[in-house]
Amino acid sequence: MRAPRIRHRPLPAAPAQLPPKGLPGLDPAWSRLVAARTVDGTRTFHVLDTGPILAARGIPVRGTILAVHGNPTWSYLWRGLVAESLRQAETDTAGGWRIIAPDQLDMGYSERLCHAGAPRTLTGADPDECGYRRMAQRLDDLDALMDALDVDTALPLVTLGHDWGGVISLGWATRHPYDVDAAATLNTAVDHPVDEPVPAALRAATAPGLLSASTVETRGFLGVTLSLAEGRLDREVHAAYSAPYRSRDRRGGIGGFVADIPASADHVSRGTLEEVSSALTRWDKPTLLLWGPKDPVFQERHLADLQERIPHADLHRFEGAGHLVAEDRDIAAPLLTWLGGMDRRDGRLRPEDSTRRSPAPAAAVHGLHAQLEEMTASWRRNSPAVVDMTSQDPTALSWQELSSQIDALARGLSELGVSRGDRVSLLVPPGNDLTVVLYACLRIGAVAVVADAGLGVRGMTRAARSARPDWIIGATPGLALARTFGWPGRRISVQALSHRQARLLGTVASVERLLRSHVGASPDVPHPAPEDEAAVLFTSGSTGPAKGVVYTHGRLAALVALLRRQFDVTPGSSLIAGFAPFALLGPAIGATSVTPDMSVTRPATLTADAVARAAMTGEATMFFGSPAALRNVVATAPQLQADQRAALGRISLVLSAGAPVHPDLLDAVQELFPSAEIHTPYGMTEGLLQADIDRDGVHDAMATGQSGVCVGQPVAGVRLALAPLDPAGRPAEELTVLDDPVQPAAVGVLSEIVVSAAHLKAGYDRLWQTDRASSRDTAEGLLWHRTHDVGHVDSSGRLWIEGRLQHVITTPDGPVGPGTVETPVDALDEVTRSAAVGVGPSGTQAVVVIVEPDGPDRPLRTGRSPLASPEFASAVRHAAGDVPVSAVLVLDELPTDIRHNSKIDRTRLALWAEKALTGRRPGTP
């Protein structure tokens, strides 16, 4: 049934009109005026409609998208969607989407009912005031318009909205559940608790004494809204948005829309809003949410409310985008891709069935707590399980003690209200406390959210708002940050706090007291299932905003099984974890984990002395560390005593993960760990182990003179595929799946590396578009992950990494991976490390090499300029071989990411190099 109709006192109307020609991005052919019989008479709408264009081109209509703008925009908001839909329609054999984007009455170029003849003061209290449209009537207006346009509802029908057009479009969809097949919305809200104030961004505009002055009498509200775009709108685009609202006569609808915000319980539109919000809890059709998180109007709580009402909705958060997300980001591509992934069955539009699978795990998979329980029941129960060397007095927990603390805390958290599926942000430094907290959360089925301090406050804030945890467990510094920056989640401290401290930090409990009050207790909940989410691990953020990577219990367990098989980790092994992820996996592997004395945020602070002390205390047999950590360990080795060297001599395995490792560093590490096998496994946050190679294998591979760094063969359970790059550096959509032996045509081809394995991520968290873009399908039906790393394979099936996809240099002779140049340049005696970047337009880029010297930089420079001396530049060009190097620059220290201190920030260096080569002061990158 339709909502009750509100009849308004008729007012003189200003006629609808077509937009002026010349508005950027808006083709006049898209516009039409449509007369529709509304509840208060025949009204004329301005509408963007691609139906006639598709018909004229002989393109069949595959479905209709009804796009509804908000306040104070107009249908111009959807011009990018209109253009992209028409572009795709030319080549899509299924036809094209008909886009219908009306200007709501009183808005844009549609008919004006609320104009200069209306009162000069809007209050929002009088239902007939100024004749402006109420929410219920705007829903009726869409009914009238769709009837007038004679839309074929036998074809798929999708609604789309933004701002108050979002709630109106969703409301219209729920009114017509048998006609509407799917819904999508940008930033909007479908509920506003009456006891909460409206967002600060709207507060001034909604104040009765200011409403008319800010929305109608002046362009204040219009100007503020248009200023919410990321950066600034182009001047011509800003003018196009403002064009329908240049005079007071044209802005009555802006004020009317604001006056119709149902913030109070007695507002005339409150009932309509509640009908819509309630109906959405029963909405079971495919739904897509495209969100700009920096919106001061529609905030995280509005998004959370939408997700609670529509839990099956797909979500993509465009980090950095705000209220005008359609201007900040391309929303057409993900929307049309999302719709393209649907099929029409049973008269409804549904997501396509997913038959994608992963290869079989490398070894038998057990629960994450299975090995811990086995160790606790064995004769090793009293031997150390975790050793924390980060304080002056090392602390240790036996397997029995660790298991007991995990059980007790799991019971305490469960009784506190932490439930299966709840997200728990862990702001605890690596060490024994973190291990206990993590495994207690996993035991009760809570999802651990890990965003390490290396992201910085800004990055951690973005991660917290993205993951939206229900709980935060943290040490005092982390809780203080959470309180200061308003991170979501109820807070639990690690240590017991005084009443005053607890009040200041807003904590509701402490781990210490929960452990003390639940000694000997065990959780009374079942173990999680393999498909249950286990963790959201955030990437380093070295190539853009950090992304949340979702792992299930089954996928983490498959990783544990692989590590045990690949590196022959047996119960009783002991590892020094200079690389945090491996410390957390220790209990699941059955190995003692020793956390050495180092700064969590700067792996390069790990010293040889700290490693030796950890080896002696934990009787270590393995050492895991990043390349930056290894480099500093080697540099500080001369300070070691004889007994410390002996302890390092007992280590049998050294692993370095996080970035490729140069052979010279591996040789230096071998001298320090003479009995160890040295491996440099290749992986990423999305899949911590994909390929592996040892030191001898690296030397054998490098002797072949190939480009990049060899990372070895795929490990057991991993399938490898290539997406060859075209001359513009774009990877092919069709994958070349590698067989054994490798197909001759695939050897040596610069490609994006694509992998498939049982221990890969389950997906990206609340990043639908990123998750979709990172996946590839093949005829085998496997789930593939695009790594965004580029490289090649050789005839022996070894994988060579040559850089990141976004750092590929597109020269006139074709694409070049940075590693092609960097690997031979790094071998020069004068060089610590180097970076090859592209300067200039895509397709004609020049190769510029930036060098961090090994020793004084003055002899390598030309005076005070960053340009290398002619002699040194010649040596670099000779090392680069066939790749033409246009310029060589010298920099004291290359910028790197925080987490690994190893991944060079080539994007920053490319901007710095461009300034340096054009005569501008480059400053510090």
Same domain, 343 and 406: no
Q: Is the pLDDT of residue 338 over 90?
A: yes
**715: in domain:** yes
Mean pLDDT rounded to a whole number for the chain: 89
How much of the chain is helix, strand and coil, in % rounded to 5?
Answer: 35, 25, 40
Tell me how far apart the alpha carbons of residues 705 and 880 are, in angstroms, rounded to a whole number: 11
Query: What is the CB neighbour count within 10 angstroms for residue 147?
Result: 11
Domain-terminating residue out of 680, 710, 740: 680
Q: Is the pLDDT of residue 97 over 80?
A: yes
Share of the chain above pLDDT 90, in %: 67
Q: Is the pLDDT of residue 647 over 90?
A: yes
**313: in domain:** yes
Least confident of 387-396, 423-432, 737-746, 853-862: 853-862
**Helix and strand counts by DSSP (H, E) for the chain:** 31, 41
Same domain, 440 and 322: no
**3: in domain:** no
Domain holding 113, by residue range, is 28-351
Same domain, 514 and 409: yes
Same domain, 844 and 754: no
Q: What is the pLDDT of residues 650-690, one digit of tens each?
A: 999 999 877 777 788 899 999 999 999 999 999 999 998 99
- What CATH number should be reported for the domain holding residue 436? 3.40.50.980
Q: Is the pLDDT of residue 356 over 90?
A: no
Q: Is the pLDDT of residue 5 over 50?
A: no
* CA of residue 898 relative to chain centroid, distance: 18
Task: Provide the pLDDT for residue 210.
Answer: 78
**371: in domain:** no
Task: Provide the pLDDT for residue 304.
Answer: 94
Amino acid at 826: D
Q: What is the pLDDT of residues 251-279, one digit of tens each?
A: 989 988 888 888 888 888 999 999 999 99
Task: Provide the pLDDT for residue 419.
Answer: 96
Measured CA to CA in angstroms, residue 426 lies from 553, 700, 713 at distances of 17, 43, 35
Least confident of 36-50, 561-575, 784-798, 885-899: 885-899
Task: Provide the pLDDT for residue 917.
Answer: 87
Amino acid at 453: A
Side-chain half-sphere of 244: how many Cα atoms within 13 Å? 30
Tell me how far apart the alpha carbons of residues 925 and 922 are, in angstroms, rounded to a whole number: 8
Same domain, 87 and 193: yes
Query: What is the CB neighbour count within 10 angstroms for residue 91?
Result: 7
Q: Into how many domains does the chain fold?
A: 5
E strands, 10-103, in order = 31-38, 41-49, 61-68, 96-102
pLDDT band per the 50, 70, 90 thresholds, residue 779: low
Same domain, 717 and 750: yes
pLDDT band per the 50, 70, 90 thresholds, residue 583: low
Same domain, 812 and 862: yes
Same domain, 799 and 813: no
**851: in domain:** yes
Q: Is the pLDDT of residue 878 over 80?
A: yes
Match 């729920």 to its residue by tokens: 174
Q: Is the pLDDT of residue 902 over 90?
A: no
What is the average pLDDT across 775-779? 69
- What CATH number should be reported for the domain holding residue 58? 3.40.50.1820
- What CATH number should be reported for the domain holding residue 827? 3.30.300.30
**392: in domain:** no
Q: What is the pLDDT of residues 597-637, one digit of tens each?
A: 887 667 778 899 999 999 999 899 999 888 888 889 999 99
Task: Provide the pLDDT for residue 833.
Answer: 87
Same domain, 701 and 789: yes
What is the average pLDDT across 297-313? 94
Task: Provide the pLDDT for residue 216.
Answer: 86
Question: 29-43, 337-351, 736-750: which has the highest mean pLDDT?
Answer: 29-43
Domain-terminating residue out of 680, 715, 750: 680
What is the average pLDDT across 732-753? 90
Tell me how far apart the alpha carbons of residues 541 and 564 are, in angstroms, rounded to a whole number: 29
Same domain, 660 and 797: no
Same domain, 77 and 191: yes
Domain-terminating residue out of 528, 551, 582: 528
**381: in domain:** no
- Which pTM value belongs to this model? 0.90
Structure tokens of 700? 């054998």
Task: Provide the pLDDT for residue 778.
Answer: 67
Q: Are strands 423-427 and 447-450 parallel, antiparallel or unpaired?
A: parallel
**6: in domain:** no
Same domain, 812 and 794: no
Task: Provide the pLDDT for residue 133.
Answer: 86
What is the average pLDDT across 22-35? 97
Least confident of 313-322, 572-581, 674-683: 572-581
